[in-house]
Amino acid sequence: MERSTSRRDFLHATGLGGLAAGLGVASAVHVRPAHATPAAMHDAVRQVVGTARVTPGRVKLDLPPLSENGNTVPLTVTVESPMTEADHVRVIHVFTEKNPRPDVVAFHIGPRAGRANISTRIRLADTQTVTAIAQLSDGSFWSGSANVVVTLAACLEDAP
Amino acid sequence: MASALINVPERARRGEIIEIKTLVSHPMETGYRRTQLGATIPRDIIRSFVCTYNGAEIFRAELHPAIAANPFITFTTVATESGTLTFQWTGDNGFSVTQSATITVG
Amino acid sequence: MPGPPALPLRRFVVTVIMAAIAASAVAAEIPRAERRSGYDLMGRETRAMQDDDTANPGMLFVLDGESLWKKKTGAVKGVAARYPAFDAREGRPIDLEQRINRCRVDRQQAPALAWESRDLLALTAYVARQSRGLPIDVTIDARTQPFLDAGRAAFHRRQGQINLSCSQCHDDLWGRKLAGSVIPQAHPTGYPIYRLEWQSLGSLQRRLRNCLIGTRAEAYEFGAPELVDLELYLMWRAQGMKLESPGVRP
């Protein structure tokens, strides 16, 4: 029941929560048996970076501040890098704090990309912070974050 | 069945950075959803996406259940020579789709 | 599993809706000049998803439909804009999905495709795509008028446990918010639509059933004449608006 608490709090915060619930929102939400926590995200990040220092900067994460539906949220990640043989981005990891698990995607690129600029669409189970961490060719790690408010569709149908 | 929709420019100048857009049909079932009767719907996702340019890997992604259904990924590459870009998506339950596109570099 | 909300919440819901409706001067139908596609009311990112064919997931279904259709023909251009249309054999209007299935059964001796099956959605998307940009143009005459009237009556009839009519939200409260979502005018300009909530393409009948479930009314079965009457009324109500299929909606 923990999982529905945050959603319900969010609904109430919008003022029209009751109306949305009445129209079926509560009857077919995503099942989130155990959602990750900022601590779980921290652990997932540590798995990737080990004991290395992660410096905020160079990584820009573009997500709509307010998403119309958490099932499909456009995401673009850009890393400042000359993308040369000597100085480029090797991999970009994306993490969330409140999805069932923190890992979202990892993109492996190299100097042949020309630019470190990738887009995709992700799922967000709740309003939360999304973080991207890039590893450069010198082994250093850089990060960027964005906050997304996830709103709910007004009318849902029954679960499958 | 057309399972994937790929957009690669037909021609490019040598050294030009081109944008590649890919869209593939897949439900990306998370493994966290349940039926109304409470049974867990098993996970069924694409786990990997690889793009090669004349045989050399230029882009690779590892996907998790948080990637939206019908995965959409766009990325860039430097147009180095004429040839073929091959795209391969692989995942749970033996899922595998391969598609290619040609590019003329002048 | 999140169960249905407890009763007090349900009462609260009804109170909220009644308050919202009482506060609004109950309008009749939306004047022609004020009609707006759901497209205009959605966010920039969702509009971008629809606008770019290489980014619109509905195009995956259009491509599937094209290969199912096999031989390319221009004959289906504009067809989607004219359905539901009167069918002499049924003695009543049928919608685009029913028309496609009729063709399969009668002309191809193939079995009818199930509602919301990938193949039926793909064929519908393929046909509808060829009417993109064309104005909705359903025919209302002596034969279809009674069904239009039935659809209109259904749209204005309060129903379900919430005792709510379609019109109360979509004629009177459009543009306002329901939780975080903008209430649209309910013009069927993009069907079949790729709905982010569904994470798939779906028909207008699926959307109508969805609305009925939302108002806690008993939803009609797919293919029910009541749903086709509603489709006809909605298409007539959107007469002249341009088709966007396959649309993307939140």
| Residue B36 placed within a domain | no
Residue C62: strand, helix, or coil:
helix
pLDDT tens for C177-218 read: 887 789 999 999 999 999 999 999 999 999 999 999 988 999
Which residues form the domain of A127? 2-150
C118-129 and C96-107 helices cross at what angle (nearest 10)?
110
CB contact at 8 A, B56 and B85? no
Q: How many CB atoms lie within 10 A of CB C14?
A: 16
What is d(CA C200, CA A160) in angstroms, rounded to the nearest whole number?
A: 13
User: Does C59 contact B23 at a Cβ distance shorter than 8 Å?
Assistant: yes
The CATH number of the domain holding residue B25 is: 2.60.40.10
pLDDT on residue C27: 53
pLDDT on residue A153: 59
The number of domains in chain B is 1
| Residue B83 placed within a domain | yes
| Residue B15 placed within a domain | yes
pLDDT on residue A37: 73
The number of domains in chain A is 1
CB contact at 8 A, C174 and C185? yes
| Residue A155 placed within a domain | no
Q: Which portions of chain A are predicted below pLDDT 50?
A: 1-33, 159-160
The pLDDT tens digits along chain B (106 residues) read: 558 999 999 999 999 999 999 999 999 999 999 988 899 999 999 999 999 999 999 999 999 999 999 999 999 999 999 999 999 999 999 999 999 999 999 9
Share of chain C above pLDDT 70, in %: 87
| Residue B92 placed within a domain | yes
pTM: 0.85
* Out of B60, B65, B68, closest to residue A121 by CB: B68
What is d(CA B98, CA C83) in angstroms, rounded to the nearest whole number?
A: 37
| Residue A157 placed within a domain | no
Q: Is the backbone of residue A22 left (phi > 0), alpha (psi -120 to 50) or beta?
A: alpha
C118-129 and C58-69 helices cross at what angle (nearest 10)?
90
Nearby residues of C43 by Cβ (< 8 Å), 6 or more positions away: A64, A66, A68, C250
pLDDT on residue A32: 41
| Residue B59 placed within a domain | yes
Full 3-state SS string of chain B: CCCEEEECCCEECCCCEEEEEEEECCCCECCCCECCCCCECCCECEEEEEEEECCEEEEEEEECCCECCCCEEEEEEECCCCEEEEEEEEEHHHCEEEEEEEEEEC
Within 8 A of C59 by CB-CB distance, chain B residues are 5, 23
User: Does B34 contact A31 at a Cβ distance shorter than 8 Å?
Assistant: yes
Which residues form the domain of B80? 4-31+43-105
Q: How many CB atoms lie within 10 A of CB C112?
A: 15
pLDDT on residue C108: 85
Please tell me if residue C59 touches chain B, with a CB cutoff of 8 Å.
Answer: yes
Measure A21 CA to nearest chain C CA, in Å.
7
Give ipTM to 2 decimals: 0.96
Q: Which portions of chain C are predicted below pLDDT 70?
A: 1-28, 71-75
Please tell me which residue of chain A has the smallest CA distance to B27: A71
Measure C208 CA to nearest chain A CA, in Å.
10
Within 8 A of B67 by CB-CB distance, chain A residues are 104-105, 120-123
CATH for C34-249, options being 1.10.645.10, 1.10.3470.10, 1.10.760.10, 3.30.360.10? 1.10.760.10
* Out of A110, A113, A123, closest to residue B66 by CB: A123
User: Does A120 contact B71 at a Cβ distance shorter than 8 Å?
Assistant: yes
Domain residues of chain C, as ranges? 34-249
| Residue B65 placed within a domain | yes
